[in-house]
Chain A
Amino acid sequence: MNPVEALQAEFGDAIQAVEEFRGEITVTVDGARIVDVCQYCRDTEGLQYNFLSDVTGIDYLPQEPRFGVAYHLYSMYQNRSLRLKVLLPGDEPAVSTVTGVYPAANWFEREIFDLFGVTFTNHPDMRRILMPADWDGHPLRKDYPLGYETVQFSFNFDEVDKFKPYAKE
């Protein structure tokens, strides 16, 4: 069974794009339907993507929709892989969790929440995982400051001075 044809027949417009590069198929799916698509991929005879290898986030700044979440499915029965991708807006990105279908997604989604700021709704344990709990910002975003110090010139002296770590009262 061809996974792309099967998905297009089942979900129609929810399949937004299909790409192939070096034998890897990427299917871009409407974020609202991702749980149904995963469920279908796992349970349909002939597809049987029973193993979730990986979930990862991508920041496409300055494109809009800005964020991508890629799910790497693998079928041990058919010995083939499939990448599902969801595109999310830069403003308050959120997508439903797939932990109900693939429990392995639990920590991967926490990692994406931690490092990209993508919220997974209905996730059983949506806490930061790698960074400290009180950390500000999401480090893997492209607009996250890299920690260089801005050089102070006469024209921006006061502006930069505000952020200098002097001892304050």
Chain B
Amino acid sequence: MTDIQETTIWEGDIQQLKGLVSERALAGETMVLNMGPQHPSTHGVLRLMLELDGETIISCVPDVGYLHTGIEKNMESKRYEQSIVMTDRMDYLSPMNNNLVYCLAIEKIAGLDVPERAQVIRVMLAELTRINSHLVWLATHALDIGAMSVFLYCFRERERLLDIFEIVSGQRMMSTYFRPGGIWRDLPAEFFPAVRSFLEDFPRRIEDYERLLTENPIWLDRTQGIGFLSADDAIKLGCSGPVLRGSGVNWDIRKAIPYSGYEQYDFDVPLGVHGDVYDRYLIRMEELRQSLRIIEQALARLPEGPFRSNNRKYVPPPRSELGQSMEAVIHHFKLWTEGFSLPESEVYVRIESPRGELGCFLRSDGGNKPARVHFRTPSFVHLSALPAMAKGYLIADLVGIIGTIDIVLGDCDR
């Protein structure tokens, strides 16, 4: 017969646990349980150290870094243009937003103007990416809580969005479509029918999802009154995006500090009342509709004109000029051999990504490579707020709370 006492002794360093869990855990009164790093509902490789009293969570200590790839360090040894591809890999569910914030930071230092057409295309694609990201969120969030069919419907629609991204950039996920001064190439003709048919279909699809979930008693039971976060706490903990607005704080960066011409679009910012998982669900569903509105307006007002800046110090000349203009050849050669240099300075740019405030701190030391790039990623901040949201709820609710902050671990660990 095996000795049970023998097998349950924990062999780690007890000093590491002190301060993270209560004294009761050290005495063996409560249970310390690892959730993850390989767990289907942690949306990647996230490890949570839970202290449980029965099924109630007393404390929750997130352990991140499993997906740390040193992107910030890596970008320091790449030229400005070369490192755009790395930004895609951070938040792989909304790559265009990552491209956008990095390009905006470069454009801010360089003082580079982006033509109107490029701005409208950027807005349109950023909103399509938002829908794409929210669809994956809804799919996995519902799947975690047990609604299997929503997952399949969401991924069906997401497939159409990925096709649209493939039409514009040649890539389904890692598009690298935005470049400093504009975009990589103009929209191809196939883009417009694809987006129009999506815009026509999608409102009905949102209704389908809502019919499956919004008044579903199981969904209500699992989400209402769970993961409460007060408005004060949300601001203190640095929450942004749907998590902050779920607690009733009206702060959307697209409205407060407009970028890429967002001030010209007419859209509403949905707000929550209760600050629970259900309110955040309602907000993201409404954001899907508002994103559709923005895309419709962008399609209607898409102006003719250049799709990237005319400033040849930062933006390569069009192919057609290379055969005729010596200057174009020189600019092309310079951009492809040494890239462009930015004056010594530091900027911080923030945009509203599907998850919340996505910030980019860029420091240039006058060379052609960034001296320091830092991304303020919403997943990182929201995960640090997870203990405050999870405390006192059941371990089964934790699955819903992780889903509601919509984390992407690539975004968190960078």
- Mark contacts of B358-392 with chain A using CB atoms, 8 A cut-off: 1 yes-contact digit, 0 otherwise: 01010100000001101010001101100000000
Given known contacts A76-B249, A79-B256, A139-B70, A56 and B384 CB-to-CB distance under 8 angstroms: no
Are B381 and A22 neighbours in the complex by a CB distance under 8 Å? Answer: no
Are B381 and A70 neighbours in the complex by a CB distance under 8 Å? Answer: no
Are B73 and A139 neighbours in the complex by a CB distance under 8 Å? Answer: yes
How many A residues have CB within 8 A of the partner chain? 37
**Which residue of A has the minimal Cβ distance to B77?**
A146
> In the docked arrangement, what's the CA distance between A115 and B70, Å?
10
Which residues of chain B come closer than 8 Å to A125, judged between CB atoms?
19-20
A165 interface residue per 8 A CB criterion: no
> In the docked arrangement, what's the CA distance between A139 and B69, Å?
11
> In the docked arrangement, what's the CA distance between A146 and B108, Å?
29
A50 → B minimal CB distance (Å)? 6
A125-157 contacts to B, CB under 8 A, are 125, 128-133, 139-140, 144, 146
Select which of B19, B347, B350 is within 8 A of A21 by beta carbon.
Answer: B347
Select which of B238, B257, B376 is within 8 A of A79 by beta carbon.
Answer: B257
Are A21 and B65 neighbours in the complex by a CB distance under 8 Å? Answer: no
Which residues of chain A come closer than 8 Å to B357, judged between CB atoms?
53
Which residues of chain B come closer than 8 Å to A103, judged between CB atoms?
236-238
> In the docked arrangement, what's the CA distance between A104 and B65, Å?
18
How many residue pairs link A and B with beta carbons under 8 A? The number is 91
B409 → A minimal CB distance (Å)? 11
**Which residue of A has the minimal Cβ distance to B384?**
A107
B81 interface residue per 8 A CB criterion: no
Which residues of chain B come closer than 8 Å to A139, judged between CB atoms?
70, 73
A66 interface residue per 8 A CB criterion: no
Are A132 and B249 neighbours in the complex by a CB distance under 8 Å? Answer: no
Which residues of chain B come closer than 8 Å to A140, judged between CB atoms?
72-73, 372
Are B65 and A131 neighbours in the complex by a CB distance under 8 Å? Answer: yes
Of residues A54, A107, A139, which shows the largest number of chain B Cβ atoms within 10 Å of its Cβ? A54
Are A53 and B359 neighbours in the complex by a CB distance under 8 Å? Answer: yes
Select which of B109, B237, B371, B374 is within 8 A of A56 by beta carbon.
Answer: B374
> In the docked arrangement, what's the CA distance between A41 and B307, Å?
42
Are A22 and B109 neighbours in the complex by a CB distance under 8 Å? Answer: yes
B235 interface residue per 8 A CB criterion: yes
B399 interface residue per 8 A CB criterion: no
Which residues of chain B come closer than 8 Å to A58, judged between CB atoms?
346, 363, 371-372
> In the docked arrangement, what's the CA distance between A139 and B65, Å?
14
Are B413 and A130 neighbours in the complex by a CB distance under 8 Å? Answer: yes
A126 → B minimal CB distance (Å)? 10
Which residues of chain A come closer than 8 Å to B372, judged between CB atoms?
56, 58-59, 140
B20 → A minimal CB distance (Å)? 8
Which residues of chain A come closer than 8 Å to B347, judged between CB atoms?
21-22, 24
Which residues of chain B come closer than 8 Å to A50, judged between CB atoms?
235
A39 interface residue per 8 A CB criterion: no
A8 interface residue per 8 A CB criterion: no
> In the docked arrangement, what's the CA distance between A83 and B70, Å?
25
Select which of A54, A59, A81, A106 is within 8 A of B376 by beta carbon.
Answer: A54
A73-128 contacts to B, CB under 8 A, are 76, 79, 81, 83, 102-104, 106-107, 111, 115, 125, 128
Which residues of chain B come closer than 8 Å to A83, judged between CB atoms?
346, 348
A55-71 contacts to B, CB under 8 A, are 56-59, 70
B53-76 contacts to A, CB under 8 A, are 64-65, 68, 70, 72-73
> In the docked arrangement, what's the CA distance between A133 and B361, Å?
26
Select which of B65, B70, B376 is within 8 A of A72 by beta carbon.
Answer: B376
A15 interface residue per 8 A CB criterion: no
B373 → A minimal CB distance (Å)? 10
B251 interface residue per 8 A CB criterion: yes
**Which residue of A has the minimal Cβ distance to B20?**
A125
> In the docked arrangement, what's the CA distance between A50 and B19, Å?
28
A52 interface residue per 8 A CB criterion: yes
Query: Can you sample 21 A-B contacts with CB below 8 Å?
Result: A21-B345, A22-B109, A22-B345, A50-B235, A51-B235, A52-B238, A53-B238, A54-B374, A56-B361, A56-B374, A56-B376, A70-B346, A72-B359, A76-B235, A104-B236, A104-B381, A107-B380, A128-B65, A129-B64, A130-B413, A139-B73
Q: A103-B236, A104-B237 are in contact. List 10 more A-B contacts (CB 8 A).
A: A24-B347, A51-B238, A53-B238, A53-B348, A53-B359, A54-B359, A56-B361, A72-B348, A107-B383, A131-B65
Closest 8 A/B residue pairs (Cβ)? A104-B238, A54-B376, A107-B384, A130-B65, A56-B374, A130-B68, A103-B236, A21-B345
